[in-house]
Each structure stands twice: as C-alpha cells, then as structure tokens.
Amino acid sequence: MRKLQTLLIGIVVIIGVLFFSARYLEKNQGYASDNIVTIYNWGDYIDPSLLKKFEKETGYKVNYETFDSNEAMYTKIQQGGTNYDIAIPSEYMIEKMIKSKMLEKIDPTKIIGLSNINAQFLNQSFDPGNQYSIPYFWGTLGIIYNDKFVEAKDIQHWDDLWQPALKNNVMLIDGAREIMGLALNSEGKSLNDKNTQDLEAAKEKLTKLTPNVKAIVADEIKMYMINEESAVAVSFSGEASEMLDSNKHLHYVIPSEGSNLWFDNMVIPKTVKNKKGAYAFINFMLQPKNAAQNAEYIGYSTPNEKAMKLLPKEITSDTQFYPDQETMSHLEVYQNLGQKTLNEYNDLFLEFKMYRK
C-alpha cells in the first residue's frame, strides 16, 4: 500500500514539474496562452507573410489551423475541443452558427476600419448589421473555358454546358449547392429554391448533362484545366483566377441569368480564449495595405474599397472577378435552407453522381 502511495505521489510531482515547466517556457518565449491567437481558416487562404507581419506588429503568436469545408469547421467548433479565436466561414454557415448561438457578437467600438469595406458587402441577409461577422473575401461561381477548344460566344450561359460538342469535356466542382444551383438558375429558379418539384426537375436536368461530365472533383479542377485536360469547368472565381494566371488560354464567365455571390467573413466563435487578440487580427486585416496584399496573393475579390485603390488596375478592372453592377444584380447569396431542405439537395446531388456511374 505504501509503495502504491509513493508511486502516486511521484506521478503527481512529475505532472506538476511538467506543467510548471511548460508555463515557464511559454512565458519566457512570449507564448503564454493569452498571447496566442488561434485562427481557423480555409487552406491557403491568407498570405503567410501577413501572419508573420501580424505577429511582429502586435506581439501575438499565431496558431493557424485549416479546414476544407464549412461543415467540418462547424462540427469542430461545435464540439468545443479547441479554443478558436477567429474563424472564417461562408455566409450560409454564418447564418447557421448565429442561430446555433456559436458566435460572439461583434463590439463595434473595438473595430477599426469597417468604413474601408464597400457598403454593398455589408448588412447582408445572413448577418443583418454585421453584428457577428466582418467581410474577408467575396466571389462568384462561374464557368472556366479554354479558347483552344471553345469559342467565347458558345459558353456564356449555364445551358451551354449541355451542348453535345462538350461530350466528356466538362469538369464540375463537387458541391451540392453549386451544381443543383446552376441547374435551378438555368431554369430561371432561385438557387435557394425549397420547392421539392423544382429540385427534382433540376436533378433530372443534371442527369441529361451526364454525357458531358468528365469528372466531379474539388481542388483537382485547377490542375486539369491548367494542363488542358478538359475544355470547360464550373468552379469559384478565386480558383479560376489561379487557373487563368497559369494558362493564358483560360477565361472565366459568370452566366447572365444568375449565379452565386458568396462571402467568407471573419467571426469570433464562442470558444474564443483571446478576445483582445481576435479584435487585433480583424483590425489588422481591415487595414487597406494588408487587405490588398492578401487579395493579390490569394486571387479572390476584396470587399475593402480602399484596398482596391492599392491593387494594380489590371486586377480591379477585370470584370471576370470584379463584375459590373448589372451582373451583380443577378447574383444570389446562399441562404441557410434548414436541414430538411439541405438534405434534399445533398440526396439529389448524390443521385446525380451515382447516375453517372
């Protein structure tokens, strides 16, 4: 019994020594828990040099983690295993997180630079008054085509994807909302449609696209299009920007009948441990110089009006990525459809994918 007690005391002492040693190292390296800002973001979605600049200017240490889908991000934050100070979800997921009470309200007195954001990107339906989120990037969903295989006049609308000349030559992004949405838009319907008959009709139309679909993939689309392994692809504007930079024969078009206008915004989850550091990061990214640098590195469109003035004119005048007001008026933001309708979208999209096999 005494040996057991001695063993237990020894274990407690070792744990204590390890704990206090860790605390000592944290403090002496300047990395105490209240000096760390933990950021949860999409992969390769910030210029790494900006993180170093943020650390140098503020004295905070950045702990940077990535996710590959809004759903994965939501689940991990909901589980509460990590104290994320900043996350960067998309609009429909922000709406869902607000309803689930997973986000801190933004204190406007602690935000510096919100006036730098173009008013058209504020006060959106998913977060009225920007009470919970601050714009980070925005973009669209559209069609990338290679002018070696397709003429511009032949690929301006969603329905053009169905033309027989594109047999086995269309790549699709692997997303239920995106692909079901383009089918709905092609029929003059909203990409937030909740009508079951409309959704079934959209899926049936997609099955007729099957002969043209070469693959339904994610990030691989960039490689396939750059290497000219397909004539056409459906993907996001930021992905398109990277492709166009790597192959001069690629172009991006937003169908005039409608498409998705998406937003990724900075939020402070309820798991926040360093709220002061979270506000410091938001304010840092709102600075025009930093926002411009990030936009040039990532290739997505910045909502920061003052940052746009610092970007090369060839970027900001490119209507493929900074579309005119007429085009913008036909774009829709994804709404939180509710789990029942979202399941319908997912199930019908899965049926379409299975039909291809």
More confident residue, 70 or 2: 70
pLDDT at 92 over 80: yes
pLDDT score at 12: 47
pLDDT at 25 over 70: no
Residue 20 has pLDDT above 60, yes or no: no
Mind listing the pLDDT tens digit for each residue in 78-87?
A: 998 889 999 9
- Mean per-residue pLDDT, 303-329: 94
Query: Confidence band (pLDDT; 50, 70, 90) for 64?
Result: very high
pLDDT tens digits, one per residue of 95-106: 999 999 999 999
Residues contacting residue 89 through CB under 8 Å, at least 6 positions apart: 70, 73, 74, 97, 264, 265, 267
Q: Which of 23-32, 293-302, 317-326, 329-338 has the lowest mean pLDDT?
A: 23-32
- 87 SS3 class: strand
In the predicted structure, residue 26 carries a pLDDT above the cut 50: no
CA–CA dist 269, 5 (Å, integer): 43
* pLDDT, tens only, 273-314: 999 999 999 999 999 999 999 999 998 999 999 999 999 999
CA–CA separation, 307 vs 296, rounded Å? 10
For the entire predicted model, the pTM comes to: 0.82
The pair of structure tokens assigned to 188 is: 């003059």
Residue 238, pLDDT score:
85
Pair of tokens at residue 162: 């169905």
Burial of 89 (0-12, 13-18, 19+ CB in 10 A): buried
Q: Looking at residue 174, what is its pLDDT?
A: 92
pLDDT in tens, 212-267: 999 999 889 999 999 999 999 999 998 899 899 999 999 999 999 999 999 999 99
d(CA 304, CA 135): 8
Nearest to 180 by CA among 162, 200, 197: 200
Q: According to the CATH classification, is domain 139-261+322-356 in 3.40.50.300?
A: no
What CATH code is assigned to 33-138+263-316? 3.40.190.10
| Structural contact between residues 352 and 280, judged by C-beta atoms closer than 8 angstroms | no
Q: What is the mean pLDDT of the chain?
A: 91
Q: Tell me which of 3-17, 40-54, 125-139, 294-308 is least confident.
A: 3-17
Tens of pLDDT, residues 157-191: 999 999 999 999 999 999 999 999 999 999 999 99
For the chain, percent of residues with pLDDT exceeding 70: 90
Q: Are 252 and 142 in contact (CB under 8 A)?
A: yes
Burial 33-46, CB ≥16 within 10 A → b, else e: eebbbbbbbbeebb
Give the N- to C-terminal CA distance of the chain in Å, as an integer. 66
State the pLDDT at residue 357: 62
Residue 150, Ramachandran bin (φ over 0: left; ψ between -120 and 50: alpha; else beta): beta
3-state DSSP assignment of residue 117: strand
Mean pLDDT of the region 114-124 = 96
pLDDT at 68: 87
